[in-house]
Amino acid sequence: MGNYPRGNRQYSDGSLRPQYLANETQAYIQEMGQYASNVFAADCQGLNPDDFFEWKRVQLRSVRAAQAQTGSTMPGDWQRIHIINPANYTYLPQGAMLKYADNTWIVFKDKNIAAFQGQAIVRRCNAVVNLLDWYGNIVSLPISYAKMETLGNAPHTTENTITSKNYIACICQLNEYSEKFTENTRIIMGKTAYAMRGLDDFTREFTDDPDSAHLLTFTIERVELQSYDSAEYGVADYYGFSWEISANWQNSMKVGMTQTVTPTSRRNGNAVVDSEEHPISYYFTSSNESVLTVDEYGVVTALGEGTADILIELAQNPSKNLTITIDVPAAESEYVAFTESVPQYIHEFESITVSAAYFENGEATAEELTFSFTGPTSGAFSITAADTPNTYRITAYHAATTPLKVTAEYETYSISAEIQLIT
């Protein structure tokens, strides 16, 4: 029989599997099927055996589903679909999504055994569950619920109506977002909260392939909205998520000076580290480029007198942002300034460097400055001169209630900054 991928019933060399009248029938369907009145252009998943979630453009026919055993019809938004072009796609796996007729559909039952045409029972996704991704973006997950009888003991008939106390049978695709669902996961549907019961995330399409589970089935039960839910955004636990951006910067710069603003993030209270799985980057924007410019690395340059804001946005979710304000006073011919950003705080056993210079006509000179470090007790920190002139290394040993004041002086000119030592 040869080796062929599940998604298209082909030999490894690309030729069609030899099935009785398959080639002739497929060719006829591809040629004539497009003239039917129920033909749709659709985007479809599940056709690439190496990438289940890849979307491919197909042409299909869609008709109302019926149960062959009894002749009874299924709910009106359940359809039986047939792929007519390309003709060689003869397999549609459970859980694959399709987009056509202004709706998203999900394969509920495959109809592929001994078939020479890709076909399946699909259910229209008639609801959407909103979730937060890792960065706090709202992601909408289409689901399908069925107006079936309740699974609890109830005296009322619910074939065509759904009351607030119903248990509602649902399905959705098992993917990177829904894989986080567990028993009792709470979701928001409309203005109501529901909890998942009887979650099935283990039904496989192929017995020996654990990666062939792509469909979730579960029942949802009405529960009460909580204070940390958002009915407005339709997200359960919406207010339980936090993302905070902080940065160190000098709030005053002389014309011609530069400083690098380095933001950091905390997700749900924990420090975020850039990684391959969860990359972190930022966008920088100046509110007035005649006063301040900023490049993609956060290097801020003072160009003219005035005040401007620097907007720092998380690239992966720009709704998480921080605005800092920097003042540029009238230009002076001589002054002392820090040559890199002084952080607002230092953690225990963390080290940072501070450096400054005496400027004449906007240019840093090589003049030697005098530095002083006052505030906390001497055991709270240590100071070491760096190899670079006018640069010192500060190491914190424990937290202090009094901030560390750093002052750099040259003759009558000076500049100061305060750093908090924290745990």
From 171, 17, 172, 202, select the one nearest 91 (Cα to Cα).
Answer: 17
183-242 confidence digits (pLDDT tens): 999 999 888 899 999 999 998 888 888 888 999 999 999 899 999 999 999 999 999 999
Total count of residues recorded for the chain: 423
Distance of CA 372 to the CA centre of its chain: 46
DSSP string spanning 64-80? E-B-TTT-PBPPTTEEE
Q: Which residues of 34-60 are buried (b: 16+ CB within 10 A; e: fewer)?
A: eeeeebeebebbbbeeeebeebbebbb
- pLDDT the model gives residue 85: 83
Give pLDDT < 50 ranges for the chain.
Answer: 1-12, 16, 18-21, 70-72, 148-164
DSSP classification of residue 149: -
Compute the distance between CA of residue 332 and CA of residue 313 in angstroms, rounded to an integer: 33
Strand runs labelled E in 72-115: 78-85, 97-100, 103-110
Compute the distance between CA of residue 181 and CA of residue 127 in angstroms, rounded to an integer: 17
Is 288:326 a contact under the CB 8 Å cutoff?
no
- pLDDT the model gives residue 26: 60
Is 12:4 a contact under the CB 8 Å cutoff?
yes
- pLDDT the model gives residue 66: 67
